[in-house]
Amino acid sequence: MREFDVVVFGATGFTGRFVAEALAAAAAPVRWAIAGRDPERLAALRRELVDAHGAAAGVPVVVARSDDPASLRAMVCRTKVVASTVGPFEQHGDPLVDACVEHGCDYVDSTGEPAFWRRTVSRLHAAAVERQVLLVPCCGFDSVPHDLGALLTARALEGERGLEIDAFVRATGDPSGGTWASLLEALAGMGRPEPGAGPTSPRGRTRTPMRPHFEPAVGQWVVPLPTVDPLVVRRSAQFCPELGPELRYRHWLQTRTLGKTAALLGGVAALTVLAKIGPTRRWLLARKPQGQGPSAEVRARSKFEVVFIGRAASGRSVRVRVAGRDPGYGFTGATVAAAALVLACDRERLRYRGGVLTPASGLGDPFIERLRGRWLEIDVA
Ligand SMILES: NC(=O)c1ccc[n+]([C@@H]2O[C@H](COP(=O)([O-])OP(=O)(O)OC[C@H]3O[C@@H](n4cnc5c(N)ncnc54)[C@H](OP(=O)(O)O)[C@@H]3O)[C@@H](O)[C@H]2O)c1
Structure confidence by residue, pLDDT tens digits, 105-137? 999 999 999 999 999 999 999 999 999 999 999
Q: Are 103 and 132 in contact, with CB atoms under 8 Å apart? A: no
Distance 178 CA to ligand 1 centre (A): 5
User: What is the average per-residue pLDDT within 30-37?
Assistant: 97
Distance CA 89, CA 67 (A): 12
Please state the rounded mean pLDDT for residues 301-315: 96
CA–CA distances in Å: residue 231 to residues 66, 126, 227, 283 = 26, 18, 8, 30
C-beta 177 within 6 A of ligand 1: yes
- Ligand 1 centroid to 289 CA: how many Å? 11
Question: Could you tell me if 211 and 113 lie in one domain?
Answer: no
Residues 319 and 364 placed together within one structural domain of the fold = no
Closest listed residue to residue 218, CA positions, set 147, 153, 149, 168 = 168
209 and 315, same domain (yes or no): yes
The residue among 327, 344, 368 that closes a domain is 327
Report the pLDDT value the prediction gives residue 200, as an integer from 0 to 100. Answer: 37
Do 43 and 158 belong to one domain? no
Count how many Cα atoms sit within 13 Å of the Cα of residue 176 in the half-sphere of its side chain: 25
Measuring CA to CA, which residue among 71, 119, 70 is closest to residue 93?
119
- The pLDDT mean for the chain works out to 93
| Spacing, Cα 12 to ligand 1 middle (Å) | 8
Whether the per-residue pLDDT at 346 is higher than 60: the answer is yes
Q: Are residues 212 and 128 in the same domain?
A: no
Structural domain of 340: 4-141+329-380
Examine the domain organization and report whether 170 and 281 are in the same domain. Answer: yes
- 358 CB within 6 A, ligand 1: no
The rounded Å distance from CA 204 to ligand 1 centre is 30
Q: Which residues contact 48 (CB under 8 A, 6 or more apart)?
A: none
User: For residue 120, which of 103, 104, 108, 132 has the smallest C-alpha distance?
Assistant: 108
Mean predicted confidence (pLDDT) in 48-70: 95
Average pLDDT over residues 283-310: 95
The finding on whether 89 has its CB within 6 A of some atom of ligand 1 is yes
By most ligand atoms within 8 Å of CB, the mutation choice from 172, 182, 228 for ligand 1 is: 182
Give the span between the Cα atoms of 46 and 44, in whole angstroms.
5
* Same domain membership, residue 236 and residue 100: no
Compute the distance between CA of residue 63 and CA of residue 74 in angstroms, rounded to an integer: 10
Give the residue among 185, 203, 177 at the shortest CA–CA distance from 116.
185
User: Cβ neighbours of residue 117 under 8 Å, at least 6 residues apart?
Assistant: 111, 137, 138, 197, 228, 231, 232
Is 211 in the same domain as 317?
A: yes
Cβ of 92 less than 6 Å from ligand 1: yes
Whether the CB of 85 sits within 6 Å of ligand 1: yes
Overall average pLDDT of the 37-47 stretch? 97
**Ligand 1, atom 13: closest residue by C-alpha:** 178
SS3 254: strand
Q: What is the DSSP letter of 137?
A: -
Alpha helices in the chain (DSSP H): 14-26, 39-53, 69-76, 89-103, 114-131, 144-156, 177-189, 229-239, 258-276, 278-287, 296-301, 332-345, 364-371
Q: Nearest residue CA, atom 32 of ligand 1?
A: 65
Please answer whether residues 370 and 139 qualify as being in contact, where contact means their C-beta atoms are separated by less than 8 angstroms. no
Nearest of 350, 328, 320, 341 to residue 151 by alpha carbon:
320
The pTM (predicted TM-score) of the whole model is 0.95
What average pLDDT does this structure show over 300-326? Answer: 96
What does the pLDDT read at residue 4? 98
Q: Are residues 215 and 356 in the same domain?
A: no
Instruction: List, for residues 192-217, the tens digit of each pLDDT value.
Output: 765 554 433 344 444 456 889 999 99
167 lies in the same domain as 87: no
CATH number, position 317: 3.30.360
The reported pLDDT for the residue numbered 209 is 65
C-alpha separations of 7 from 111, 172, 290 in Å:
17, 30, 22
Question: With a 6 A CB cut-off, is 41 part of the ligand 1 pocket?
Answer: yes
Find the 86 Cα to ligand 1 centroid distance in Å: 4
- The pairing of strands 248-255 and 79-84 is unpaired
Rounded Cα gap, residues 10 and 152, in angstroms:
31
Specify the ligand 1 atom closest to the Cα of 293: 15
What per-residue confidence (pLDDT) applies to 377? 95
Instruction: Quote the pLDDT of residue 197.
Output: 45
Instruction: Determine the Cα–Cα distance for residues 357 and 143; give it in Å rounded to an integer.
Output: 12
Q: Are 311 and 247 in contact (CB under 8 A)?
A: no
CA 136 to CA 347: how far, in whole Å?
Answer: 13
Q: What is the arithmetic mean of pLDDT over 7-11?
A: 98
- 198 and 315 share one domain: yes
What CATH number did the domain enclosing 127 receive?
A: 3.40.50.720
- Calculate how far, in angstroms, residue 75's C-alpha sits from the geometric centre of ligand 1: 17
pLDDT at 352: 98
Cα of 91 vs centre of ligand 1, distance in Å, is 11
Domain co-membership, 60 together with 116: yes
Atom of ligand 1 nearest to the CA of 16: 16
Give the number of domains in the chain: 2
